[in-house]
Structure 1
């Protein structure tokens, strides 16, 4: 029975001038229904992605965040945050142990040292630190550094101050 059906299909195909099992591109199959991806349907509906890159392919999360941050104008703020977040890796563990970033305004990074000796050392290393920060975060994020030593407690209380010897006046 199967052989008879195959022979009948071959005869019909020979009468049409085609081989059985092969259709012309865009031809409707027997039964009148078009298969997905062939003509007869909306061409935008079933366009399959090939082996190459396509915008509909799943994207890495980092790439999506980078695109979103550039579209929203967050790149400068993220670079500033990276200076504070990656401080030990940018300047090294020894320097990070004795110096902490305090503020970053208009390219000027304010760094507070743990002692006056470390503040002097950081002033001497300022160019190397700026180069390392630029290599890790990007050029133009930090253009100059303001290095401060440790701060002593302030004895000034209130908005008005009378000049004098300072806290020693109160100890009799």
Structure 2
């Protein structure tokens, strides 16, 4: 590369670096002018900054977190996760040993049960459990419940299996 060409590319890099610097300075402000801008804002607002004025009291962490979760729209998700962890307290120890909440989709809580008998038992108690959930976790948005029994084994092998009579002499 010739010395002339090297000097030209170096100048181009300097110009580009200068443009980036000036853009950052415009976007983020200059450290030397921050004090003036802050003073102008205070002067425009007309309210002097007082150390013990109204609105300056510290807030508790619970209030701050509640404000952030409400602002970001996390209340429903947090209530649903609280429901998942509090499932044993909601239904009792015996039922919680044989069922576990799997997830919430479109306002429907899906619960996986150990056996079809436990799924049937929970189906019979659906209104009581749903009422307890709605009263305790109204922000979770649970409208209905679905109880699943254990999954049956499948004998389908591969993506191109042909439907047929299924297993015939498997157990015999």
- TM bracket, shorter-chain basis: 0.5 to 0.7
The residue number in structure 2 matching 1:161 is 161
Is this contact kept in 2: 1:91–1:133, CA < 8 A? no
The residue number in structure 2 matching 1:48 is 52
The residue number in structure 2 matching 1:59 is 59
**Mapping 1:55-134, distance limit 5 Å:** 55-134=55-134
User: Deviation string for 1:74-105 (max 9, x for gaps)?
Assistant: 12211222221221122222221111111211
- Runs (4+) of structure 1 exceeding 4 A deviation are 169-172
Is this contact kept in 2: 1:111–1:147, CA < 8 A? yes
Q: Structure 1 pair 121/43, CA: closer, same or farther in 2 (3 Å)? A: closer
1:107 Cα deviation after fit: 0.6
Q: What root-mean-square deviation, in Å, do the aligned CA atoms of Structure 1 and Structure 2 show?
A: 2.5
1:140 Cα deviation after fit: 6.4
**TM-score normalised by length of structure 1:** 0.64
Q: Structure 1 pair 163/124, CA: closer, same or farther in 2 (3 Å)? A: same
What is the rounded CA distance, in whole Å, between the counterparts of 1:83 and 1:140 in structure 2?
Answer: 8
Structure 1: which 5+ runs fail to align? 1-41
Task: Return the structure number with greater helix share.
Answer: 2
**TM-score normalised by length of structure 2:** 0.64
Which structure has the bigger radius of gyration?
A: 1
What is the number of equivalent residue pairs in this alignment?
127
